[in-house]
Structure 1
Amino acid sequence: MARENAGDLTFSEQYNGPDPLLDAARTHSHEFGIAPVSQTTAKTLTLLARLLTPVAAVEVGTGVGTSTLSLLRGMPTAGILTSIDTNSTTQSAARDLVDMAGIRPGRLRLMSGRAEEVLKRLAPAAYDMVFIDVEPGNLERMIQPSLRLLDSQGLLVIHKTLLKGAVADPVDRSPRTQAARSMLNRIAEQENLERVLLPIGEGLLLLQKPR
């Protein structure tokens, strides 16, 4: 449900300021039973895109478009985002959201299908940024196909890696939490990846191949 007043907002949400379009999209997302990225996560994605200036980016998990719009806002005006999801209905909602934001339709390429299969069809080393927003149980098998898409300085951003602190709680042994822990442990063992884990929203893991 949408929050009714400033007293219901976290300090971060108040500090970051309102975003009526994304706030409405979050409410719409809950109607579909989908958890959207948090306000702080959305702002972070926009900032990362502005810093990286990706001409070509990929998103795994379109939802109704909260992260889609956040990425497009930060990308260059000529940048194209390829967004993958199995739900064509929510993808239509994402398209509407991007249109309402006044972003040129050609900047968003929607692809419907299982991410593992769609990622294989995309050109290797042709993208500057990949954002993955799927359930923890599916995260690990997305990582190598996503890294394959990145150019030499590309950035992989993975959502839902801390699960709002559940991963750090040894008492939490739920399958979802254990899947996230397992993924993080395996990433930590890979010396060929630069990594930063950010406690933002449900957790963001940033990965980059060493230069």
Structure 2
Amino acid sequence: MKPRPSIYIDGLETFIDSELVYKPNSVFSEMEGYAKEKNIPIVTAATGAVLSHLVSFLVPTSILELGTGIGYSTLWMVQGSRSSKIITVDRHEEQAKLLDEYANKMGLEDQMDVTRVTDSVLEYLKDENLWREVDFFFVDCDKITYPSIFRTLWPKAKKGACFVFDNVLWHGRVLHPDPKKPSDMAVMELWNEVKSQVLEYTLFPVGDGLLFFRK
């Protein structure tokens, strides 16, 4: 995977994540190092902290995470609300099961309710019974699926359900999207869907852009 540029001036994002973000456990830094070494995309530390903060205020009963990665964002949400039941979906089993290892290192294995599901996100969403009563959705998977995910969830999610999409600034390419890149077009399509159907939304310009809205 090619390195993707930050939306910040050179060096600022690294400084924010290493010097300005409070990390409640040193294992987060270990996970960041592993992800960098293996070229695995994860949210930034600043993004994780905002996500944790949102969850701590909302205290959702149930969270559905679409895109586990190595469990970095999952564990930030656990830090925000250990009482929330989290289901996290990813098709990469070997990578996603690292979540269990890192949770053990943090001493959270007995203090969280997290279920990993190995499946493609769109396949999982075909069964509405699995998500119709979810309180909080966090979406950080293949960007080309974003419009389909929004069109699937938004009409049928329960009233009051919260949505958070990561990478909505798409490394700054929302400014000049390349029509030849499906991911660019998908992120722009998500924005068009949200702006035309959602009455209120909030963009948190941390990391690669975090979009929050509620039904």
Q: TM-score range by the shorter chain?
A: 0.7 to 0.9
Specify which of 172, 196, 210 is matched with residue 189 of structure 1. Answer: 196
Counting matched residue pairs gives: 202
Identity across matched positions, percent: 21
| Per-residue deviation, 1:166 | 1.9
TM-score by length of 1: 0.84
3-state DSSP class of the match of 1:29? helix
| Per-residue deviation, 1:184 | 0.6
TM-score by length of 2: 0.83
Question: Partner of 1:201 in structure 2?
Answer: 207
Tell me if 1:108 matches 2:114: yes
Aligned partners of 1:29 and 1:63 also within 8 Å: no
Match runs of 1:1-211 below 5 Å: 9-11=14-16, 13-18=18-23, 19-75=25-81, 77-104=82-109, 107-121=113-127, 122-147=129-154, 150-168=157-175, 170=176, 173=179, 175=181, 176-190=183-197, 192-209=198-215
3-state DSSP class of the match of 1:58? strand
Seen in structure 2, the aligned counterparts of structure 1 residues 165 and 8 have a Cα distance that, compared at 3 Å, is closer
Seen in structure 2, the aligned counterparts of structure 1 residues 14 and 208 have a Cα distance that, compared at 3 Å, is same
Cα distance in 2 between the residues matched to 1:137 and 1:184: 13
| Per-residue deviation, 1:89 | 0.4
Question: Partner of 2:6 in structure 1?
Answer: none
Cα distance in 1 between the residues matched to 2:20 and 2:214: 30
| Per-residue deviation, 1:136 | 2.0
CA deviation profile, 1:63-122 (whole Å, cap 9, x unmatched): 1011010111112x3321100000000111011112222223561100001111112334
Q: CA RMSD in A?
A: 2.6
Cα distance in 2 between the residues matched to 1:129 and 1:43: 16
Aligned partners of 2:93 and 2:118 also within 8 Å: yes
Seen in structure 2, the aligned counterparts of structure 1 residues 7 and 194 have a Cα distance that, compared at 3 Å, is closer
| Per-residue deviation, 1:179 | 2.3
Aligned partners of 1:130 and 1:156 also within 8 Å: yes
User: Please, which runs of 5 or more residues in structure 1 have no aligned partner?
Assistant: none
User: Please, which runs of 5 or more residues in structure 2 have no aligned partner?
Assistant: 4-10
